[in-house]
Amino acid sequence: MSLNIFKLCAMPRLLPVVLAALALLTPAAHAAVPGITGTSFDLRAEASFISQPDGSMVYSWGYGCNTAPSSTAFVPAAIARASCPSMQIPGPTLIVQENTEFKVTLTNRLPVGAGNTSILFPGLQLLSTNGGTTGLLTQEATTASPVTYTLIAKSPGTRAYYSGTQGDLQVEMGLYGAVIVLPASGGSSACRALAPTLPDGQTDFRLAASAYDHAATCYDREYLFQFSEIDPKIHRQAEEQVAAIAACVPPDPASGLSPCPKTLNVVTENYHPAYFMINGRSMPDDMDANYQTQVYPHQPYNGNPHMHPGELVLLRIIGQGRWQHPFHEHGNHVRVLARDGNLILSAADPTRLAGPLLFTTTTTPGQALDGIFYWTGKGLNWDVYGHGYTGDPSVCIPDANGYYTQLANGNGQPNGVPNSAATEPNYYEWCQDHKKALEKSPFGAVAGGGPVTLPDANILTDGAWYGGSPYLGPDANTRATGSTPIPPAGTVVNSPGTEAGFAFMWHSHNEREITTNDIFPGGMMMMMLVDPQAFTIDESL
Amino acid sequence: MRRIQLYRWWLPTLLFLIPALPIAAQSFRVQCPTYTPAHPNPTTLPPGTPLAPGAIKCQQISGGDGFATMGDGTQTYLFGFGPLSGVQDIQNGLPGTEIVATFNAVGGANGAVGLVNPATGAVDVAPIMNLGVMNANMPAPTMAIEEDDEFFLTLTNVGMIMRPDLFEQHTVHFHGYPNASSFYDGVPDASVAINIGGSFTYYYLAPDAGTYFWHCHVTPPEHLQMGMVGQLYVRPRQNRVSGSLYDGLVAQQADRRTACYPHSTTTPFYDQTNPDILCSSPLPSNHGAVTGGGTYAYNDGDASTAYDVEYPIQIHGFDPNFHFVGMTFNPEGFVDMKDKYFLLNGRSYPDTIKPGPQLTQSADGASHFSQPLPTIISIPTGGKALLRISDLDVTEFQTLASLGIPMHVVGINARLLRDLAGNDLTYYTNSITVGGGESVDVILDACAARATGGSCTTPIPSGTYYLYTPNLDHLSNDAENFGGLMTEVHICTSVDPLTKVGVGCK
């Protein structure tokens, strides 16, 4: 039992520290796409500090709410404790309707010497501006004069927003965020409408029925991931220069001393980032809850995806910062729906999608991508639920796609009621593999006669997200491991008794970026959990 | 001595668990069953039952360390996987995946090293350690399977002899596998990793055809930079179709596992209006009456991905400072990581064009096969070469350009470029850019003009052409300002597709 702990302590890196931090994680911390909705957004740009898992506080600039939005402005409504601080990284996610005008007012509260600031909205139409002063790329907010942008989105989808002033410094300092445009119709009528619950009775956390006004863009769950980097050298220079300007007492002109500095002069090359973040946080912080203001007052959004087998998951992926990141999703391919709000359809047949299938959805600075992912275990050739043991009552009635989605009629065929099996523990099981054994001579109550012999558990090291057995769900897990307790624990964050999901790492494949200032694990990494159907995915926690 | 100690330690636990524990608790073992439920003994089947397609394939690899030779002659320390089966094939530049009869041939040139009893997988530890220690190959042993195969991959952790401070586990991550299982996904944080002195057998039914790749997933910023990266590809079942390719792809719709469209109760038996959103091989919208008999990259149904010879090419980069630190127990700098060696199949130019395996003298004074793969692309006159390109660099993106022969990109991330209406989305270019964790399938067509039937009317002249990187700083071997990501493409009279040996090459 102590074997695994011994190994952890022997690791030459800060792994024990990270695992200790993991143990403090909110047990079920999920995400959805939280943000503020409406037709008028009152934002400000301000300085503060954000935290990294190595304990450092990094001086940063971010957008935030100038006035607190009303409680009904926070969506999805089911996510509790939502708030919008005066500075956050990424900036507040703005959720708007296609073809509906909206305004964004920006008040400049950056420190003296930082100069003007602004917001660019690529992929949206800027109808007019009010206030502020003319800048190089767009109207800018001075410290004295806020600017109001009047905008409209002519297509749905995900977009980036970021500063259009001194971008090499201001975007690096954290002035970026996301705009989500929902389809004007509310979503395609071919997709399941928004409702309080999904067919399985669990809460529906979606913002719309589909990503675009198109029948092929239905989804059941959605996540937003924004990728960015931090070069601490740049942030330190900004912090020191801002402090120097604030503290400087103007010298006597006769003294011959230099006058006080009035503006910043931060060197932003050579670029050498040490922190790599998803939604403004590095691993493992990104896996904590949304809106955890006591711990992350200025980093409200997390990256902690969960899904049930068969659920269509919409991924909204934005490259902020200045580097590309090969974002690799373990577990399956992603069908790219659109780039920058442009749905990619077949030239010959616009009812069909034409985006590529990618297992690595590389991010590009300023570019947004929408894609669909799902996991079902199709084609594994063994039953992931450990069915097939003596006395197993489970059934799997294949629908037209081969999955268990409808209960049986009298003749062992699907009963014709869509999703009637949604509350079954093996909803969306791949029926062709039903009762197929994995193990030759199993240890425990799962089917035998399969192709593989598992190694003795004592020569394996368990990961923190290991469910406890090769199987999905606590029922299968308990049957597979029998009465002997699972040797070396360390299964901290995927409880074998209540969750036992399948964990898949979603991370930047420029592996150097899954570190936090030379510490592994860290950086641009998340664990995605495919949870058994019976497990409640509560994005509101 | 060591085995007896192990046995004694196990004894009380073993006695307690004997009723339920399978076979023996030997830590090193291989698995390569002759029959499985998916590929059963044909003599036991009712007469007339068709045999299941595909076969059982097996491979054993060691996880450990070793040395490799860089383009400027430097001997560099690496972590790596080495072959513990298919050793002769690997030395001849071929994949190390074998059929059961070859893997289970005790003492065979391509058999599992150390195998004693094929029925139980029991092995003798000594040959495994004698070969496995310091046996790291760069890139790691290539795996090649066909769709419908069952693949048993045994990873045996022989320890890293130069790093006695590390109790490092290793894993195999099958990068890109759709609907992967967490248990066999090879991510140690998400499931399990094998300790030193143990073997773990990964099991997968082959996924849909394409160019995937594999690598260790323990502390990836370290293990990947240090060299634990390898190639993996799945050939399409279309290679077994002799009649109409389109009919062959239609027939795949009958099995839901290989179908793109849901079943229908009306004619035809599949509903082409409603493809699965992650469907990998939609039926081609425009297809001629093409018959099979060739080799293809994907189940294209129209021969659009046909090729004559295939070449796996893996791009990687080494940071010499990091590798030195990795050998000398010093703290590692990930922030400061900067590649100075740029590798195609583990070698930099001019080593990329030297035929035969490369040897490196290691810290034990012995020469070990370190880099078995040159990257000499030989194309028969008027023919096509499939480049299965993957990139596992951990710091930056890489570009590979073709001088003289256009690149036809037919697949990205192990999926055919075709939209869900069946239209062709492949494209022509002169260069491809990939980041770590990406793969791309490129066909180099040594033909300037083809007749309607497909035969070549204007072949590209025989000669030597080049693949090189226009990231000119990557055309170097550390301080040597010419080297790196570059290799030669030869147009020859003919090329043996199995051995890649060309005849009449210029």
Closest residue in A to B10 (Cα–Cα): A458
CA distance A112 to B383: 67
B283: nearest Cα among B272, B293, B296: B272
C-beta separation of B388 from B295 below 8 A: no
Which residues have a Cβ under 8 Å from the Cβ of A355 and sit 6 or more positions away?
A335, A336, A337, A338, A344, A371
CA distance B158 to B114: 13
C-beta separation of B192 from B369 below 8 A: no
The mean pLDDT of chain B is 93
- Dihedral pair phi/psi, residue A363, rounded to 5°: -95, 145
pLDDT tens per residue, range A325-383: 999 999 999 999 999 999 999 999 999 999 999 999 999 999 999 999 999 999 999 99
Which of chain A's residues have a Cβ under 8 Å away from the Cβ of B393? 510
C-beta separation of A276 from B337 below 8 A: no
Contact (CB<8Å) B262/A328: no
**Given A401, A443, A530, which is nearest B21 (Cβ)?**
A443
Query: Is A1 a residue whose pLDDT tops 50?
Result: no
C-beta separation of A111 from A169 below 8 A: no
DSSP states along B119-142: TTTEE-HHHHHHHHTT--BSSEEE
CA distance A8 to chain B (A): 10
CA distance B23 to chain A (A): 9
Residue B371: pLDDT band (50, 70, 90) is very high
Contact (CB<8Å) A380/B179: yes
Closest residue in B to A335 (Cα–Cα): B278
Contact (CB<8Å) B420/A514: no
CA distance B131 to B142: 18
C-beta separation of B190 from A525 below 8 A: no
pLDDT tens per residue, range B405-449: 999 999 999 999 999 999 999 999 999 999 999 999 999 999 999
Percent of chain A with pLDDT over 70: 93
Q: What's the average model confidence in pLDDT over B168-178?
A: 97
pLDDT tens per residue, range A238-280: 999 999 999 999 999 899 889 999 999 999 999 999 999 999 9
Which of chain B's residues have a Cβ under 8 Å away from the Cβ of A274? 335
- Dihedral pair phi/psi, residue B202, rounded to 5°: -85, 145
Which of chain B's residues have a Cβ under 8 Å away from the Cβ of A530? 182
Residue B329: pLDDT band (50, 70, 90) is confident
Predicted pLDDT at B287: 83
CA distance A135 to A117: 9
pLDDT tens per residue, range B126-141: 999 999 999 999 999 9
Query: Is A200 a residue whose pLDDT tops 80?
Result: yes
CA distance B198 to A403: 37
Contact (CB<8Å) B22/A443: yes
Which of chain A's residues have a Cβ under 8 Å away from the Cβ of B438? 326, 360, 362, 509
Predicted pLDDT at A482: 66
Angle, CA A220 vertex, CA A218 and CA A223 arms, to 5°:
100
Residue B452: pLDDT band (50, 70, 90) is confident
SS3 B168: coil
Maximal C-alpha separation, chain A: 101
**Given B27, B219, B419, which is nearest A354 (Cβ)?**
B419
pLDDT tens per residue, range B59-95: 999 999 999 999 999 999 999 999 999 999 999 999 9
Domains in chain A with CATH codes: 36-191 (2.60.40.420)
B414: nearest Cα among B177, B239, B204, B194: B177
SS3 A86: coil
CA distance B442 to A447: 44
CA distance A175 to A108: 12
Structure tokens at B92: 């001849």
Percent of chain A with pLDDT over 90: 85
Match 């690799």 to its residue by tokens.
Answer: A328
DSSP letter assigned to residue A83 = -
C-beta separation of A537 from A202 below 8 A: yes
The mean pLDDT of chain A is 92
CA distance A468 to A98: 46
pLDDT tens per residue, range A71-107: 999 999 999 899 999 999 999 999 999 999 999 999 9
CB-based burial, B280-315: b 16+ in 10 Å, e otherwise: bbbbbbebeebebebbbbbbbbbbbbbbbbbbbbbb
Which of chain A's residues have a Cβ under 8 Å away from the Cβ of B192? 460-463, 466
Predicted pLDDT at B393: 96
Predicted pLDDT at A483: 57
Which residues have a Cβ under 8 Å from the Cβ of B18 and sit 6 or more positions away?
none
Query: Is A11 a residue whose pLDDT tops 70?
Result: no
CA distance A536 to A539: 9
Helix residue ranges, H only, A251-357: none
**Given A358, A432, A452, which is nearest B412 (Cβ)?**
A358
Element holding B403 (H helix, E strand): strand B398-403
SS3 A503: strand
DSSP states along B62-85: EEEEEEEE-TTS-EEEEEEEEESS
CA distance B97 to B58: 6
Contact (CB<8Å) B178/A333: yes
- Judged by average pLDDT, the poorest of A373-387, B89-103, B323-337 is B323-337
Predicted pLDDT at A486: 55
CA distance B382 to B460: 7
DSSP states along B346-389: TB-BTGGG--S-EEEE-TTS-EEEEE-----EEEETT-EEEEEE
